[in-house]
Structure 1
Amino acid sequence: MDVIPVLDLMGGQVVHARRGERDAYRPIASRLTPGSDPLAIVAALMAVAPFRRLYVADLDAIRGRGGHDATISALAAVFRDLEFWVDRGESDVRSLQRRARQGPGRTVVGTESFDDAFGVKRALWAGKSVLSLDHDASGPLGPREAHDDAKMWPSRVIVMTLARVGADAGPDFERLADVVARAGDRQVYAAGGIRGLEDLTALAELGVAGALVASALHDGRLTSADLAAVRRASLQTPRRP
């Protein structure tokens, strides 16, 4: 089980995401460190566990209000061993091709940013990326074909349930089970609602490869000891064929 911390960036700060209601996000209040400076937050997260990846949601870029490329590049320069997955809401193929060559980070292609499946396909063809199958409380966001046709999916797929983000509602186990059953040898990642070690254990048993986590890290429900236990269990569990 690959636990991936989430960094939601808005206005140069790390914010607390809740239910996908982006206009209501406020600067994060973390038990790990005071303030909401991105560098300090990532340093505090890395003190909890030797994470291998970091998911960055550039909320200003997603909303068409600038972006945080300079901040992400600065983080990548400091934390050289981290792989950055970055969702900017980009859909332009040329821009995505440039990202694939130059970064910063590996692009997350989110279905909510597209009107048709062909656009998603072109975005995935533009370079190595991670696909995020986005959902809100009413169901799938973006073209339905991108959700239904597993042949479109790359090797890494996120099941993002925005209505559960920061809501202490638990993962969307039913939807995740469906995606895992259709994913073949692709790796499936859960996003939204992870409350602690029990949820991570249940996701691993379901065949989920990893989980994107924010609130449970910042409020202390997931501790260094918990994450060490997850790493040990992952080493002892054979990969799903």
Structure 2
Amino acid sequence: MPASLALIPVLDLMDGQVVRAFGGRRDEYRPLESALCDSSRPEAVVEGLLALYPFRRIYIADLDAILGRGNHGSVVERLQRLHPDLEFWVDGGFSGTAAAQAWQAAGRGRPVLGSESLAVLPERDAWPAQGVLSLDFRGDDFLGPATLLSHPERWPAEVIVMTLARVGLNAGPDLARLAHIQRLNTACRIYAAGGVRHVDDLAALARAGAAGVLLASALHDGRLSRPELDAFHAAHPTSAASDAKASVPAPDR
């Protein structure tokens, strides 16, 4: 098991609001209704997440940018001002490394380059210094240049395995696909995304050697409550605790 399993909440942004994602069917996404907050405004959702647990990172999927109809750059900047201690990972629909490098240079967080948006396989030394690759799958179909899978030696240090068909559907994480991607490049830190239902899934991902996991529905539905996260922290003290903000004490065990 790695030194830590990072627990990373997700904000899916569309038309200025956080939406509930499920199955990758973006035309069906609707404003988020959550047990953690009474609004789908990004600021309210982040406050609700941090009231639940002292997360250190937030992943943002800018769906407008991914769909080619604007972006939420100003929203990201506002969240950064409100929460300077948080690290933001942002999938801004980058078609190549130049756009991602410009995003990072503007101080808008760590750019996530989603395979579904990439036009070609970047050279290994072309990735932004803090760039993250997201390998996007819908069912058995890989979304993006096939060369991304055939040349894993050109991946950056951190890679997300995004299983869109499991997002928001209470289907469980795709451990088989995670293991396959891990075998392709054993030097990368691999993050799982999609399908987490409960604390047992977190434990399974930790045992599988995942570096972290992206979370949304299980948090907003209360299936990963503070007691559940505390239980995971107690069983994996170097995992959940290491992803808490340094300025906030780890939960009592």
Of 92, 95, 99 in structure 2, the residue corresponding to residue 91 of structure 1 is 95
- In structure 1, stretches of 5+ residues that fail to align are none
Give the Cα–Cα distance (whole angstroms) in 2 for the partners of residues 55 and 123 of structure 1: 24
Give the Cα–Cα distance (whole angstroms) in 1 for the partners of residues 154 and 57 of structure 2: 24
Q: Secondary structure at the match of 1:112?
A: coil
Residue 30 of structure 1 is matched in structure 2 by 34
- In structure 2, stretches of 5+ residues that fail to align are 240-253
The answer to whether the Cα contact below 8 Å between 2:132 and 2:156 also exists between their aligned partners in 1 is: yes
Q: Secondary structure at the match of 2:123?
A: helix
Kindly state the Cα deviation for residue 144 of structure 1 after the two structures are TM-superposed: 1.7
Give the Cα–Cα distance (whole angstroms) in 1 for the partners of residues 81 and 125 of structure 2: 26
Residue 61 of structure 1 is matched in structure 2 by 65
TM-score (normalizing by structure 2):
0.87
Cα distance 1:123–1:151, how it changes in 2: closer, same or farther (>3 A)? closer
- What per-residue deviation string (whole Å, max 9, x for no partner) do you get for residues 105-136 of structure 1? 1000111112432xx33795244200001101
Kindly state the Cα deviation for residue 33 of structure 1 after the two structures are TM-superposed: 1.1
- What per-residue deviation string (whole Å, max 9, x for no partner) do you get for residues 128-152 of structure 1? 2000011012321111221232211
Cα distance 1:145–1:94, how it changes in 2: closer, same or farther (>3 A)? closer
Percent identity over the alignment is 49
Residue 82 of structure 1 is matched in structure 2 by 86
Q: Secondary structure at the match of 1:14?
A: strand
Alignment of 1:165-184 (within 5 A): 165-184=167-186
Question: Does the alignment pair 1:130 with 2:132?
Answer: yes
RMSD between superposed Cα atoms in Å: 1.7
Cα distance 1:204–1:26, how it changes in 2: closer, same or farther (>3 A)? same
- What per-residue deviation string (whole Å, max 9, x for no partner) do you get for residues 2-39 of structure 1? 11000000011000011111111100010111120110
Runs of 4+ in 1 over 4 A off after TM superposition: none
Residue 219 of structure 2 is matched in structure 1 by 217
Residue identity opposite 1:85 in structure 2: W
Residue 104 of structure 1 is matched in structure 2 by 108
Q: Secondary structure at the match of 2:202?
A: helix
Residue identity opposite 2:141 in structure 1: G
Give the Cα–Cα distance (whole angstroms) in 2 for the partners of residues 226 and 94 of structure 1: 41
Q: Secondary structure at the match of 1:54?
A: strand
Question: Does the alignment pair 1:208 with 2:213?
Answer: no
Count of matched residue pairs: 235
Residue identity opposite 2:144 in structure 1: G
Structure showing greater relative contact order (alpha-carbon pairs closer than 8 Å, 6 or more residues apart): 2
The answer to whether the Cα contact below 8 Å between 1:90 and 1:109 also exists between their aligned partners in 2 is: yes
